[in-house]
Amino acid sequence: MRFAAWLSLTVLLVLAHRYDTHGALDALPAIIAALIGWLFARTLARGRMPLIARAIAAIDGADLLADANIARYARRLTLVWAVYQFILAAIAAALALHAHGWLALPQPTLPGWFGFVWLPVAVALMFLGEFALRPRFLPQAPRHNLFNFMRKLVRAWPQLLLDPTATPAHSHWSERSEGGGPFALWLIRTIGLRLGRPAARALLYPITVYFFFRRGAERRASRAFLSRAFGRPAGTWSVLRHIHCYAATILDRAFLLARSTRGFDIRVNGLDQIEAQIARGRGVLVLGAHIGSFEALRVLAEARPELRVRFVMDRGQTPALTQLLHALNPAVAQMVIDVRGDGADIALAIRDAAQAGALIGVLGDRARTGEATRDAEFLGAPAAFPVAPYLIASALELPVVLCFGLYRGGNRYDVYFETFAERMCIPRAERAAQLAQWTQRYAARLEHYTRLDPTNWFNFYDFWHRPAAVEPAVRSSVAGNVV
């Protein structure tokens, strides 16, 4: 793992001096080969099952591995594949460096020619060669015809990447750990901020593919959501674009936090609407969703440095990401009101922020377990939306402004502000009816912005799923769960 990472880093480090997208494209074959090499190499670690052994277990059954010769062969072949991929990665890297004048080679080919033609051919030859010679090395191995063998391998290979000891998928999003883990985020930070956005964005492609294969639950949720949004079955390409969009906005969060909006093309719509509410000086509840980038709200903070902004968010949901973002910009930590605290404390912290005239950012789409919700029609079916934002705004008599920041590819973001309520006021006697209305209005606006670009939807779980027992009452039985 370290080796692959350092190799990619070295390649990018040198290429980044040239700093063009072409350099990143030339580096891509080297990165992919190194990553594949790493996929093999990491299974050789102590206590893990070598990748080839997993393939044998998947195709011919784990019993075969009881034969010491077969087990040894599997281990050695895994090692050979890892070394082979690393060598190919090194050649691809050398050619890329040569093309950019950083290395003089006697008889070089174009990096693209090697990377996209010779490298795949070399991998295919290795595969076929091993297949042909296997009966010689290992007479006891079961014979397959090539076509059937490849078919079984293709069918089994996503599982090969999973550790047999891996934990099963959880049903609720809040129980899922964040994808990629601290390592990927470290990679984003190191490569991204040292070498620049183009270099880091080249890495998003392998990261997207990795996420696609490693995160089955999210992959299925993405496909189901896109199919619903498009009104037709969504293909693998759409799912990959969806994951890529998500990864791209997470990367950009690092840039937005560390370097502000420099280098981004952020187009703001409805700025006058939120400006008008800010001017009243009583605090504004800014209601967003897990779509695109809420960080784009920072364009406001930059235009008006005196403006105070607080975000109500769940620090515990993505600890590594939160930690990274805080490290990039320590001021952010001060801005967060953590929803995992005591309910009364959260409510009072929001009150304090409102009384100081701050913007209070809340995401209104996800309900935490046990949180009071109302059903509203969203993309053709009822989904549960939390009611706390409206009740809080009502208690504090706050204006509510919607804010959605959509990622539009490249370095472009479209930010939309829209006045939702001049002054939220929900009398207790009319609570039920009013909450039904407000959640439905929010769901309708969310649907409008989601339809502008469904790949900006970042709730990678079954949004319409409801737990078996939903408490319909607004008054939650457990204090602290409403916020």
Footprint on this chain of other proteins (rule: CB under 8 A): 342-352, 372, 388, 391-392, 395-396, 428-429, 475-483
CB of 343 to other proteins, least distance (A): 3
Task: Tell me how far, at minimum, the Cβ of 463 lies from other proteins, in Å.
Answer: 24
Q: How far is the CB of 325 from other proteins (least distance, A)?
A: 22
Minimum Å gap between C-beta 286 and other proteins is 18
Instruction: Considering only the C-alpha atoms of the chain, give the largest distance between any 2 of them, rounded to a whole number of Å.
Output: 84
Q: How far is the CB of 358 from other proteins (least distance, A)?
A: 13
Nearer to other proteins, 256 or 372 (CB): 372
Query: Six-digit token pair at 235?
Result: 């293909």
User: Tokens at residue 380, please?
Assistant: 């053709």
Quote the least distance from Cβ 332 to other proteins, whole Å: 18
Please say which residue, 52 or 346, places its beta carbon nearer to other proteins. 346
CB closer to other proteins, 352 vs 422: 352
User: For residues 16 and 347, which CB has a smaller minimum distance to other proteins in the complex?
Assistant: 347
| φ, ψ for residue 406, nearest 5 deg | -100, 135
Q: How far apart are CA 385 and CA 436, in angstroms?
A: 10
Amino acid code (one letter) for 220: R
Rg for the chain (alpha carbons), in Å? 26
Nearer to other proteins, 32 or 349 (CB): 349
Residues contacting 286, CB < 8 A, separation 6+: 274, 297, 359, 360, 361, 362, 400, 401, 402, 403
Q: Which is nearer to other proteins, 250 or 388 (by Cβ)?
A: 388
Q: Determine whether 273 is exposed, middle or buried from the number of CB atoms within 10 Å of its CB (0-12, 13-18, 19+).
A: middle
Q: Evaluate whether 325 touches 256 at the Cβ level (below 8 Å).
A: no
> Least distance from C-beta 362 to other proteins, angstroms?
13
Nearer to other proteins, 136 or 475 (CB): 475
Rounded to an integer, what distance in angstroms lies between the CA atom of residue 196 and that of residue 186? 14
CB of 472 to other proteins, least distance (A): 15
DSSP secondary structure letters along 141-205: SPP--HHHHHHHHHHHHHHHTS-TTPPPPPSSGGGSPPSSHHHHHHHIIIIIHHH-HHHHHHHHH
By C-beta, is 272 or 430 nearer to other proteins? 430
CB of residue 345 vs other proteins: minimum separation in angstroms?
5
Q: How far apart are CA 268 and CA 416, in angstroms?
A: 6
CA dihedral 272, 274, 276, 278 (to 10 degrees): -140
Whose Cβ is closer to other proteins: residue 395's or residue 436's? 395
**What φ, ψ does residue 337 adopt, rounded to 5°?**
-105, 110
To the nearest whole angstrom, how small is the minimum distance from the Cβ of residue 483 to other proteins?
5
| Backbone φ, ψ for residue 124 (5° rounding) | -65, -40
Rounded-to-5 percentages of helix, strand, coil across the chain: 60, 10, 30
Give 278 or 337: the residue with its C-beta nearer to other proteins. 337
Cβ(359)–Cβ(286) below 8 Å: yes
